[in-house]
Structure 1
Amino acid sequence: MKDRLVYSAYATGWAVLKHLPEPAARGLFDQIADAAWRKRGKRVLQLEANLLRVHPDADEARLRELSRAGMRSYLRYWMESFRLPTWSRQRIARGVLVDGVEHLSAAMESGRGAVIALPHMGNWDLAGAWVASHVGYPFTTVAERLKPEKLFDRFVAYREGLGMEVLALTGGEVSVVGTLARRLRAGKLVCLVGDRDLSEAGVEVEFFGERTRMPPGPAALCLRTGAALLPVTLWYEGPVMRGRIHPEVLPPAGDGERKEQTAAMVQSMADIWAEGIREHSEDWHMLQRLWLADLPLRESAAAERPFAAPGTEPAAEPAGS
């Protein structure tokens, strides 16, 4: 019954919201965000705890201002995602402005392939649709299985409709890591979300002065295949989503072990993301516990995951819960 209710809620969102005028849809989701923010459920409180790590000098009024803006940004992601399948190429083009595309073009034109690695910022689905439709690079990504299965299948179909090849993180008949490596060796593009990994396989990094874990997958794949590792940050600026493709993160000089090289590259990505999150923290959709100091032992000892799956954690943990 719970699975049917969850699926029905998402199906209704897809069916109804795509027909609403955009200002009405945005106003509705702002109201939902504000209601969740006023309720001050555990996700809002966790968002504020995370934002306090980003802005340790923020007073209570500033923190509440940031968390309210953060909830509106998070619900904007969902509003856009429900409507995105109906957007034309022209509408996508009007809604996205990205700096640093030359870094991606250089990597792809060289035939090396590239891994775009993102934190949970802005709307990664919209960014993916823009890359596929306007930069001209279809790509492969990974999705964690959701319950109910029908909801997962619908998310996969939705993302494939935007120009993505979607691999299931678990339960598939092919090796996810092996498939991603083959795509990169063929000079293709891979996109992965990489700012949260609670498993023992995660690489410990310093993030805003405290320790957390991030997935090694993006960096490890690049070391294995010779592909370029390109961190990306996203944020909203009025009606437009802005983005920045940062210069390639290179392996450290010298002949260090692969594990040490991977860890150094993950830390470099974390530093780049931290700068972007500090500048646009209201668009960082981290409503879950992130730092090791906040994690119970059972959560920090989760099963191994070599990389994060994009957009799945928010789907499993709705706003206001």
Structure 2
Amino acid sequence: MTQINISLCFPQLSEQEQRQLVKQSLIEDGRLLLELLFLWSQPPKQLLDKVVSVEGEELLTEALAKNRGVLIALPHLGAWELAAVYCAQFPGLTALYKPGRIEFINERIKALRQRAGMQLFATDKVGVKALFKALKEGAPVIILPDQVPPKGTGELVDFCGEPAYCTKLYSRLAQVSQAPTLLLLVTR
């Protein structure tokens, strides 16, 4: 899959350059797995102590002060789990999660994410209603915009010449709630 995506996104690269990029991508996947294990093994307070700097935090606090909620796009880039722990400092943080196939693992991951104070809901109608409610109450909401949405709820868009099924939830939440929108990324 990585090779296919790289060849679609970077057709101008030579085969050797594409192979090198695949190798780098797989190394990053391994690094991500180790980071996740570390993040899930530490108390939230200790994780927050490791945050070196935050750029644009005032955008979040100013938006929350307006009491209209804040819609945060948090793609699966960098240490998104750390970003969620950081955002959980702000009362009422609500997010969706996509349950996996193994219930025991689902419950464990959900508990690890909720320990920082975040409210999690499955990616279903109940979860979407919870997001609207949180925004109405002035709370921050995280959306992972790169998740494939449930059938019938997304839209096909062109991505590097290929159709990609993408969520409409972020834009719908923004339009209906009129909440300020932010993009959040964590870098190493």
TM normalised by structure 1 equals 0.52
Structure 2 equivalent of residue 144 of structure 1:
98
2:84 is matched with which residue? 128
Query: Conserved in 1, the CA contact under 8 Å of 2:44 and 2:115?
Result: no
Q: What is aligned with 1:53?
A: 8
Query: What CA distance in whole angstroms lies between the structure 1 residues aligned with 2:21 and 2:43?
Result: 29
Q: Check 1:110–1:88 CA distance in 2 against 1; reply closer, same or farther (3 A cut).
A: closer
Contact residue 184 and residue 190 of structure 1 kept, 8 A: yes
Q: Contact between 2:47 and 2:82, CA under 8 Å: does it hold in 1?
A: no
Identity fraction in percent:
26
Shift of 1:110: 1.1
1:141 partner SS: strand
Mapped to 1, the partners of 2:46 and 2:66 lie a distance apart of 29
Counterpart for residue 165 of structure 2: 213
**How big is the shift at 1:86?**
1.5
Give me the CA root mean square deviation.
2.4
Cα deviation for residue 163 of structure 1 reads 2.6
**1:91 Cα deviation from its structure 2 partner:** 4.4
C-alpha distance in structure 2 between counterparts of 1:90 and 1:47, whole Å: 34
Task: Measure, in 2, the Cα distance between the counterparts of 1:95 and 1:61.
Answer: 37
Partner of 1:73: 28
Match of 1:7 in 2: none
Deviation at 1:205, TM superposition (A): 2.6
User: Which runs of structure 2 are paired with 1:184-263 in the superposition (5 Å)?
Assistant: 184-197=135-148, 199-235=151-187, 240=188
Residues 76 and 144 in structure 2, CA contact (< 8 A), matched pair in contact too: yes
Corresponding position of 1:267: none
Q: Which residue of 1 aligns with 2:42?
A: 86
Cα distance per residue 1:255-303 (max 9 Å; x no partner): xxxxxxxxxxxxxxxxxxxxxxxxxxxxxxxxxxxxxxxxxxxxxxxxx
For structure 2, the 5+ residue unaligned runs are none
Instruction: Indicate how the Cα distance of structure 1 residues 91 and 177 shifts in structure 2: closer, same or farther if over 3 A, else same.
Output: closer
The structural deviation recorded for 1:192 is 1.4
Equivalent position SS for 1:111:
coil
Q: Distance in 2 between matches of 1:169 and 1:51?
A: 29
Moved more, 197-206 or 104-113: 197-206
From the superposition, tell whether residues 119 and 91 of structure 1 become closer, same or farther in structure 2 (CA, over 3 Å). closer
Q: Do the aligned partners of residues 109 and 52 (structure 1) sit closer, same or farther apart at CA in structure 2, a change above 3 Å counting?
A: farther
- 1:106 paired residue number: 62
User: Which of 132, 154, 160 is equivalent to 2:114?
Assistant: 160
Counterpart residue number, 1:253: none
Give, in whole Å, the separation in 2 of the partners of 1:137 and 1:117: 18
TM-aligned CA distance change 1:91 to 1:184, over 3 Å = closer
**Runs of 4+ displaced beyond 6 Å:** none
Change (3 A) 1:232 1:210: farther
Counterparts of 2:55 and 2:14 in 1: how far apart (Å)?
33
What letter matches 1:191 in structure 2? I
C-alpha distance 176-233 of structure 1, shift in aligned 2 (>3 A) = same
> Could you give the per-residue CA deviations for residues 47-94 of structure 1, whole angstroms, max 9, x where no partner exists?
122123332212222222222222222222222222223256354343
Letter in 2 for 1:53: L
Alpha-carbon distance, 1:97 to partner: 4.1
Render the CA deviation track for 1:134-164: whole Å, top value 9, x for unaligned: xx45511111222321111111101001332
Greater Rg over alpha carbons, structure: 1
Change (3 A) 1:52 1:163: farther
Query: What letter corresponds to residue 106 of structure 2 in structure 1?
Result: F
Aligned-residue offset at 1:114:
1.2
